[in-house]
Amino acid sequence: MTTSIEETLVLVKPDGVARNLTGRILARIEAKGYQIVDLRMVQADRALLAQHYAEHEGKPFYEPLVEFMESGPVVAARVAGHRVIEGFRSLAGTTDPTTAAPGTIRGDLGRDWGLKVQQNLVHGSDSPESAARELALWFD
């Protein structure tokens, strides 16, 4: 299968940074063969998070999600490779870390902490359109 090189936005969320898992998470991305082509640590403000999570506005978990995401720094990575958008989503595992498959980042390193938001360590763009939109928010 031939595909052109894609880019995706990965965020190590505040729980991942606070638990000192940034290096392990980035190492897993590199070990799978993807390229980290840009990297920054960001204290996100509400305006940035409102744009980033616009699709979830109005949902019950939206407010706790934004509060969680602004609770501490995140590490934003621009990651490149063939089919990296679906590849990173697969590496991250499903949204709920309690049931995310072992072998995935969320499944191996995450769990439910009894909080109002799923602290699931990472974000990854879910489509080429989301990736372009989110990379522009976090990197341009």
User: Which residues are identified as catalytic?
Assistant: 123
DSSP for 31-49?
HTT-EEEEEEEE---HHHH
Residue from the set 35, 51, 95, 127 that interacts with ligand GDP by CB under 6 A? 95
DSSP H or E run through 130 = helix 128-139
Determine if 108 is a binding residue for ligand GDP (CB under 6 A): no
Is there a contact between 10 and 117 (Cβ–Cβ < 8 Å)?
no
One-character DSSP codes across 8-39: EEEEE-HHHHHTT-HHHHHHHHHHTT-EEEEE
Shortest separation between residue 61's beta carbon and ligand GDP, angstroms: 4
Residues 33 to 92: which contact ligand GDP by CB under 6 A? Answer: 56, 61, 65
Identified binder of ligand GDP from the candidate list 8, 22, 104, 120, rule CB under 6 A: 120
Among the residue ranges 21-29, 31-39, 40-48, 111-119, the one whose residues contact ligand GDP (CB under 6 A)? 111-119
Q: Give the residues lining the site for ligand GDP (CB under 6 A).
A: 56, 61, 65, 95, 116-118, 120, 123, 126
